[in-house]
Structure 1
Amino acid sequence: MSYFVQNLRRFAGELMEDPVGGPARISAALKVKWKTGLEETFGSSGMGRRLAARYRGRGVVLMFHEIHEDVEGNLRMGCSPDQLRTVLSALRAEGRDVITPDEAMKRLADPQAGDFAIMTFDDGYRDNRTLALPILEEFGAPMTMFVPTGMVTREAYAWWLGLRALFLSSDEVEIEAMERRLTLADAPSRNAALRQVGLWIGTDRARADALKPTFARHSISIPALIDEVAMDEREIRSFAAHPLVTIGGHTTSHTFLSRLDDAAAYRDIADNKRYLENLLDRPVRHFAYPYGTEGACGKREAEYVRAAGFETGFTTRSGHLFPAHLSTPCLMPREDAGFAHMSGSQLENRLSGARRALVTQFGDPVAGLR
């Protein structure tokens, strides 16, 4: 009870400070706190695993982005090497083999095959090679990296990197498009601001684009930020040659596909496949949507992924893999395991299928078939 009382007091203080923007922020924060509390309770009890038994599939696909030694200094965008090692240890304890997407499709079709997990990393970050790969080598665990063309060429509009740089370099920021002035007094306020702007953008490309004047006013160069953190062509080619590494597609521009017209959406997918295959001189068979929620991709995008020649397409919708996914392989779920400071209960929920049960209020265990 004291946990909720303390947060209610804090929310009341925020409301007094910001009577206009406060209610929306508090509503979102309360939802997050409620969901987090429910997930912790569910994951820490044996009842959670028992109730979620029907949601535990043959496989689970886990998603990561950046891997940081200094998670707080990077505003919790990514997770630590220790967290990655904890996830791999938990998979081993669960009896799940870490395999490639190619092997996963074979196992889904074979009732006698063992349970498995796929480790996926999005966007082509350099720390995936320097920090993640050595840990994966310890476990003999393959990884799949989904690479957008624009991150390699430095042409993507990586607005999330711009926001991080903005909030780390300023104590007060005005986001004109939001009509908000954000005070960034400490790490918690910077983290909160990053979440607020991210939630505001959602899957709206226009809102992300509306941040460009703010970045320009603060002399923030997105290409320079990408160059600091992402692999270039030479590095991608070298990385792809590692026996544990599979490279997959992730669009050309890393934009919201659902906001593009038919021709542009297909081109953004197909051109990325062509670019990576030319760069690596090998087939690129697997794909992940940059924004994989229901509002960001659906049947249209899945058809374009299939038409471009990909064999699989991974969303960010919660859930495990079941044999039924063989009928819609371009709309398969993934569980996020790469957010900062994931608790043991949260990891348990992702590996047991409990998170899917909670997200759907005990609805359909098989995600992505509609």
Structure 2
Amino acid sequence: MKSALKHTIIRAGLEVFALPGAGRLWPQAAGRGVVFTLHHVRPQRTEAFSPNALLSVTPEFLEQAILVSIESGLTPVALEDLPRLLAEPEDKRRFAAFTLDDGYRNNPEYAAPVFRKHKVPFTIFLTEGFVERTRSLWWEVAEALLRKAPSLRFDFGDGPQDLPLATAVQKSSAFARIAQLIQSAGEDAVVDQIDRIASEHGIDPLGITGDLVMDAGELRTLAADPLVRFGGHTLTHVNLKRVPEARLHTEIAGSIAAVERFVGYRPKSFAYPYGFASAVGDREIKAAADAGFSVAVTTQPGVLTPSDADRPTALHRVSLNGLYQKRRYVRALISGIPFKLM
């Protein structure tokens, strides 16, 4: 009920900000443009229980987002070029940079042809453990497990609990509790628990990673595309704000070496896993800059501003969310007004 109310409020707000002329009421809110966040790009799926639906958009919607961006006066650019462009005082253009997290196999299959059609650069962020099949995508494993199991015993920290999973509502509630635990307990231990229980139910966690994420050979092939750039996304996709200093630097430096090994060049850009305020702070922003990244992105919502040139490893992004795939919603987001009122 709470989730449904939240989505209803968001849709209502987007409808208001998408009204013709809404952007002209507050033109300064649009800033210098937008960095878009994407994950999966693939045909529409219609399962009743789909907790990761927000991470998936259709190729048709991606094309609409590109067209709306251009119609709104934004110039598509590569993410790694933004710090230089924003720092040029004579350049008054507004920009759109498209980014995709995690390196999904559907990115070259469905997203790349759309970007090529419109000659739009794009950046894909890679996690070593996903590419090398040593780390599971816990959110995908949890979805597969909860979809399959009629009930589940799961330890949320106070001993195993029995979770009924007879309905989509019960499954969604269980997924939300697991996701909350990931961000409040020891992440590695929770991921291990998800993987272990999934294996007991005949689900191969690393097999899911292999099915969904590009391997090193596919990355080398895609790297030949002049429109694509690759960035770092850590070794294990862990919440960096919750790890010790030594691991923070290992995750970041290791991702630089991994991307260079996969595609043959040192990455200039980085995306913080999860990216929200409880996963990225001043320590992590400084660590990314100290590692040599020229630009790094969060998932905290907001448009580009002139001051971003002074702190380019703390850029906000705007999610192209699979729950809100309408052309007019993209126009509302580009206006920047929703983020001024948050």
Normalising by structure 1, report the TM-score. 0.82
- Alignment match, 1:22: none
Q: 1: distance between equivalents of 2:318 and 2:231?
A: 17
Which residue, out of 210, 213, 227, partners 1:244? 227
1:55 is matched by which residue type in structure 2? A
Among 21, 29, 36, which residue is 1:62 paired with? Answer: 36
Out of 223, 241, 249, which is 1:266 matched to?
249
Moved more, 51-60 or 223-232: 51-60
When structure 1 is superposed on structure 2, of 145-154 and 102-111 the one drifting more is 102-111
Instruction: Give 1 or 2: higher strand fraction.
Output: 2
Structure 2 CA distance for aligned equivalents of residues 275 and 143 of structure 1 = 19
Aligned twin of 1:80 = 58
Correspondence for 1:347: 330
Aligned to 1:287: 270
Aligned counterparts, 1:216-235, within 5 A: 216-235=199-218
Write out aligned runs for 1:171-320 (5 A). Answer: 171-177=150-156, 179=161, 181-185=163-167, 194-195=175-176, 197-199=178-180, 201-202=182-183, 204-206=185-187, 208-209=190-191, 210-320=193-303
Q: 1:252 to 1:335 in 2, by over 3 A?
A: same
Q: Distance in 1 between matches of 2:312 and 2:185?
A: 26
Which amino acid in structure 2 is aligned with residue 342 of structure 1? Answer: Q
Q: 1:283 to 1:176 in 2, by over 3 A?
A: closer
- Displacement of 1:281 in angstroms is 2.3
Amino acid at match of 2:163: R
Going from structure 1 to structure 2, the CA distance change for 1:182 and 1:43 (only over 3 Å counts) comes to farther
Are 1:134 and 2:113 an aligned pair? yes
Tell me the CA shift for residue 133 of structure 1.
Answer: 0.5
Select the residue among 108, 127, 131 that pairs with 1:152: 131
Closer/same/farther in 2, CA of residues 327 and 260 from structure 1, 3 Å limit = same
Paired AA for residue 223 in structure 2: A
Q: Secondary structure at the match of 2:300?
A: coil
1:100 is aligned, of 59, 78, 82, to 78
In 2, distance between residues paired with 1:216 and 1:65? 25
Contact 2:64 2:327 in 1 (8 A): no
Instruction: Give me the identity figure in percent.
Output: 25
**Shift in CA distance, 72/190, structure 1 to aligned 2, threshold 3 Å:** farther
8 A Cα contact 2:83 2:294, kept in partner: no
Q: Relative to structure 2, which stretch is displaced further, 333-342 or 237-246? A: 333-342
- For the 8 Å contact 1:293–1:315, the answer to whether it is kept is yes
Amino acid at match of 1:96: L
- Bigger shift: 102-111 or 314-323? 102-111
Inter-CA distance 120–180: structure 2 relative to 1 (3 Å threshold): farther
Distance 1:36 1:295 in 2: 22
Letter of the aligned partner of 1:265 in structure 2?
A: L
Structure 1 residue 295: Cα displacement: 0.7
Cα 1:191/1:242, change in 2 over 3 Å: farther
1:115 to 88, 91, 94: 94
Q: Distance in 1 between matches of 2:150 and 2:57?
A: 24
Change (3 A) 1:126 1:265: same
- Is the CA contact 1:55–1:319 (under 8 Å) kept in the aligned structure 2? no
1:191 Cα deviation from its structure 2 partner: 5.5
- Measured in 1, the distance between the counterparts of 2:216 and 2:19 equals 47
Q: Is the 8 A contact 1:84 1:338 kept in 2?
A: no
Query: Match of 1:89, SS?
Result: helix
Alignment-mate amino acid for residue 56 of structure 1: A
Question: Which of structures 1 and 2 has the larger relative contact order (alpha carbons within 8 angstroms, sep 6+)?
Answer: 2
Give the C-alpha shift of residue 277 in structure 1: 1.3
**Residues 167-176 or 328-337, more deviating:** 167-176
Q: CA deviation at 1:335?
A: 0.6
Runs of at least 5 residues in structure 2 that lack an aligned partner in the other structure: none
For the 8 Å contact 2:302–2:336, the answer to whether it is kept is yes
Unmatched segments (≥5 aa) in structure 1: 1-10, 12-25, 360-370
Between stretches 87-96 and 47-56, larger displacement belongs to 47-56
Contact 1:203-1:256 at 8 Å conserved across structures = no
Name the Cα RMSD after superposition: 2.5
| Distance change >3 Å, CA 199–CA 35, structure 1 → 2 | farther
| Cα offset, 1:92, TM superposition | 1.7
Distance 1:200 1:47, change over 3 A: farther
